[in-house]
Chains A and B, each alone.
Chain A
Amino acid sequence: MTLSESSAGQERVSSKRRSALLAGCAATVLMTVAACGGGTASTTEKDGFAQAPQKDGALTVWVDATRLAAAKQYQQLHPDVKLDIVSYDGNANGSNYLQTKVQLFNRTHKGWPDVVFSSQNNEVTWAVDAGFAAPLNKGLIPEGTLGNFAKGANDVCTVNGTLYCLRNDLSQAVLWYNAPLMKKFGYTVPTTWEDYQKLGEKVAEEHPGYLVGDAGDSFTPEIYLWASKCGANHITGPKAVSVNTTSEACTKMAKLMDALIKNKSMSISGVFSTDFTKNEADKILLMPGPAWFGGAVFKDGLKTPAKQIGVAPIPQWKGDTSTSTGNVGGGTWLLSQHSTHLKAATDFLKWVTTDNAYQGEKAPGFPAYAPAAENWLKAQDASGYFSGGLGALKDASGQVWPGWGSGQFSQEAIWAATVKPGLTQGKSIVSMLPAWQDSIVKYAKSDGYKVSQ
């Protein structure tokens, strides 16, 4: 507009300005194009990967809202480290945010975070191929430290013998219960799934409205069906999966859930939904769930008062000889191959996964680093929030059924899109098992997996 006004009087000046403007535009375009093509600096082969030239500057750390406290604590204890803390969704529920961003950074050749937390434990299925995750057991982290992680904890981080991430916490499923409420109603904590179902039926009759579990989360299959040894997600190789959702192990658990959903002693809202927090928070009698339910759901989410929540082993099927339980996530920490602050990044990574100051005391979930876990259990006992000991958590950490893996496709996303809408419409889980299998197979195939059924 101003351009046209001036065109009446100062034609020449304005045309000069105009061409300057145009040149500016063109230069911007050229620069953008040039930046996209960005050159690659010379790298040094060390610790099992090509390292970028190291520089001074702030260490960029990506964490989810829960792990923000860890990064802040690190900053407090290490005031001399320049830390740039970025909070993101932690890739929860298969949002793929991290993967999306890394693909973009790979194209622009810059922008990668130095250390990143993910609430998912399947990141290495893409982060290794994308050239993002740095190998950790080739010199960056000493063997002694790695040996102290709980047995099998870092299996999800290992590709062909090389470790590409460190597990933050274990998420073995246990049976949470409200001790005073159980006592008031005169119930005992069930040890078999058969007793669990009977109790659910009794609760529905005697105390309608109270809950023995929740089946409305995207990770519901990882609590119930995994614990029941349902072979829905058996990762048999780097790009191979075996899927069978209609075996007896699957159907008997699905039937149990259907019965309890029908009599309303099992909720289908999901523990993080607004209506659950509003309507069911004080109605929980029993709740099978992962280790982090204690902190994230009961203490922080539902604000259950202290001295109420206790932990028992997850029920087993009668006659089953080997105990088994499920697992819901358990976050991982990745270190970027592209980091130009490897020393600082490694220090942070080591601190955040192993140091008692955070993992041993403050962490909301069960630490994957065994010495920290010991300390964590003591700290939890000392804090006096839980009713009774947390021994069941420790026992369960070694009982996670190994027949359920972490593929590139998100089991949580598949369950949420395939089974959850049907549950809301009143369909039974048993009737949806074949559709669930079909959906897993399709997603696995589209991610390039070889599928056997």
Chain B
Amino acid sequence: MTLTLSSTGSARRRRRGPARQSRAGAAFVAAYVILLIAFGILPTGYAVYFAFTDAGGTFTGFANFITTAQDFRFVDAVSHVAVYLVLWLFSLVVFVVGLALLLHRLASGKAGQALRFLYYIPGALAGAASVLVWLFMLDPTVSPVSSLLGTLGFHTFGEVIAPGNLALLFTIIAFWTGAGGWIVVMYGALNNIPKDVMEAAHIDGANAWQTAWRVQIPMLRKWIVYMVILGFAGGAQLFVEPQLLSLASVGVAGRDYSVNQLTYDFAFQMNNINGAAAVSVELLVVGVSAAALFVARSGFFDAD
């Protein structure tokens, strides 16, 4: 950011600007590329290598994929994650956009500032810590909202974490921990909508609802797509929430719930690192394909 500012300093600098900019740019990209290779591409390549070999390093084709898919927990885990993804992405799109629009309306006042801060706080807690907060919230014996849980018919922790409730619980936890950051991002995007567009809408007699639906949301589309892509990738890798819940409930709920937990089991409990790698590669393929689909359908990279 400062780079563009400083390069407009003087005429002389401006002449040398482009060359310098490109060198600085290359340096930035190089640092990133090194990290990407070390912590992104190399491990991915390693996983792909593992996925197609056995423990001794012999090429096995798709054998690891077949064995893991035939594991009795695999189909269950996939369907759990699918249900969770639907709930998670739906709540993400509807509530994040809704709350951001609300925040934007209130932006001028003190209330808006306070809300923006409040939305962001949960996101500032580390992932596992905020999940632990929820484990307390959901146990009627120690929960600060135990009367609310009681009204809903839950009197013991066991009732709250019944198998049918899990997808919804994980969605609530994930929304609470992850949505705040997105609300702030959407709010920033809303501020970038040119004033004259909003004024034009206002002069044309659009009310708040019409402005939101016909002007603001269409102009937020790319941001929403961006959020859905990252939300999808994160949601498909669901792990911390069920894993901690399974520890807290001494194994009653959340064990082998998600696909990622299954890879963990394969790797460390059954000592089948290759099978674990095969499932990870499947997750990668699903994530990348979903992203590609969203990008292609939304014209994400089209210039404005």
B6 touches A8 (CB 8 A): yes
CB distance from B280 to the nearest CB of A (A): 16
Which among A20-28, A76-84, A391-399 touches the partner chain?
Answer: A20-28
Q: Does A424 contact B (CB under 8 A)?
A: yes
A99 & B269 in contact (Cβ 8 Å cutoff): yes
Given contact pairs A25-B34, A412-B251, A416-B252, A425 touches B162 in the complex (Cβ within 8 A): yes
Contact B158 A420 (CB under 8 A): yes
* Between-chain CB contacts (< 8 Å), 24 pairs: A1-B1, A3-B28, A5-B6, A15-B23, A18-B27, A18-B31, A21-B31, A25-B31, A29-B34, A89-B247, A93-B250, A94-B251, A96-B269, A104-B268, A126-B271, A216-B158, A218-B250, A269-B158, A272-B250, A278-B141, A410-B251, A413-B251, A416-B251, A424-B159
Q: Is the CB of B268 within 8 A of A103?
A: yes
In the complex, what's the smallest C-beta–C-beta distance from B1 to chain A, in angstroms? 8
Determine whether A4 belongs to the interface, using a CB cutoff of 8 Å to chain B.
yes
Return the contact of B270 from the options A18, A25, A218, A446 (Cβ within 8 A).
Answer: A446
Contacts A15-B23, A99-B269 known; 17 new A-B pairs at CB < 8 A: A4-B3, A8-B7, A8-B13, A22-B31, A25-B38, A94-B251, A99-B268, A103-B271, A218-B250, A218-B252, A272-B250, A274-B141, A275-B140, A416-B251, A416-B252, A417-B251, A421-B252
Cβ contacts under 8 Å, A7 to chain B: 3, 6, 20, 24
Instruction: Assess A26 versus B156: contact at CB under 8 Å? Given A93-B251, A95-B247, A274-B142.
Output: no
Tell me the nearest residue of chain B to A19, going by C-beta: B27
- In the complex, the answer to whether A442 meets B252 with C-beta atoms within 8 Å is no
Residues of A within 8 A of B250 (CB): 92-93, 217-218, 270, 272, 416
* A273 engages B157 (CB within 8 Å): yes
Contact flags A124-159 to B (C-beta < 8 A → 1, else 0): 001001100000000000000000000000000000
Per-residue CB contact flags for chain B residues 29-50 toward chain A (1 = under 8 Å, else 0) read 0110011001000000000000
Q: Which residues of chain A are near B270, meaning CB under 8 Å?
A: 446-447
- Return chain B residues, CB-CB under 8 Å to A424: 156, 158-159, 162
Which residue of B163, B267, B271 contacts A421 across the interface (Cβ within 8 Å)? B163
Q: Is B241 an interface residue (CB 8 A)?
A: no
The distance in angstroms between the C-alpha atoms of A421 and B254, with both chains bound, is 11
A274 engages B157 (CB within 8 Å): yes
* A275–B141 CB distance below 8 A: yes
Chain B residues at the A interface, C-beta cutoff of 8 Å: 1-3, 6-7, 9, 13, 20, 23-24, 27-28, 30-31, 34-35, 38, 71-73, 139-142, 156-159, 162-163, 247, 249-253, 255-256, 264, 267-271
Instruction: Report if A100 contacts B (CB, 8 A).
Output: yes
A301 → chain B, closest Cβ, in Å?
A: 14
Q: Which residues of A contact B34 (CB under 8 A)?
A: 22, 25-26, 29
Neighbour of B2 across the interface among A4, A22, A129, A412, CB < 8 A = A4
Which residues of A lie under 8 Å from residue B27 when comparing CB positions?
3, 15, 18
> In whole angstroms, what is the CA distance A163 to B295 when docked?
60
**Inter-chain contact total with CB atoms closer than 8 Å:** 111
Task: Determine the chain A residues whose CB is within 8 A of the CB of B6 once the complex forms.
Answer: 4-5, 7-8
Interface presence of A11 (CB below 8 A): yes
CA distance A29 to B31 in the complex (A): 13
Given the interface contacts A8-B9, A275-B140, A446-B71, does A130 sit within 8 Å of B251 by beta carbon?
no
Query: Does more than half of chain B's interface fall in helix, strand or loop, or is it mixed?
Result: helix
- Shortest B127–chain A CB gap in Å is 19
Interface positions, chain A 17-44, Cβ under 8 Å from B, are 18, 21-22, 25-26, 29
CB–CB A420/B252 < 8 A:
yes
Interface string of A422-453 (1 = CB under 8 A from B): 00110000000000000000100011000000
Q: Indicate the member of B71, B139, B250 with the most A CB atoms within 10 Å.
A: B250
Complex CA gap A268/B156 in Å reads: 10
Q: CA of A425 to CA of B253 in the docked complex: distance in angstroms?
A: 13
Please name all residues of chain A whose beta carbon is closer than 8 Å to the beta carbon of B28 when the two chains form the complex.
3
* Chain A 243-270 interface mask (CB, 8 Å, partner B; 1/0): 0000000000000000000000000111
B255 near A413 with CB under 8 A, answer: yes
- Inter-chain contact B162/A421, CB cutoff 8 Å: yes
Chain A proximity of B182: nearest CB distance (Å):
24
Cα separation A199 to B142 with both chains bound (whole Å): 33
Distance between B218 CB and nearest chain A CB, rounded to angstroms: 34
Q: Is B158 touching A421 in the complex (CB atoms < 8 A)?
A: yes
CA distance A224 to B62 in the complex (A): 45
CA A95 to CA B261, docked complex, whole Å? 13
Q: Would you give the shortest CB distance from A46 to chain B, in whole angstroms? A: 27
Q: Which residues of chain A are within 8 angstroms of B253 by Cβ–Cβ distance?
A: 417, 421
| CB-CB nearest in chain A for B136 | A274
Q: Which residue of B lies closest to A7 (CB)?
A: B24
In the docked arrangement, what's the CA distance between A22 and B173, Å? 39
CB distance from A271 to the nearest CB of B (A): 11
Distance A268 CA – B159 CA, assembled complex (angstroms): 11
Question: Distance in Å from the Cβ of B168 to the closest Cβ of chain A?
Answer: 15
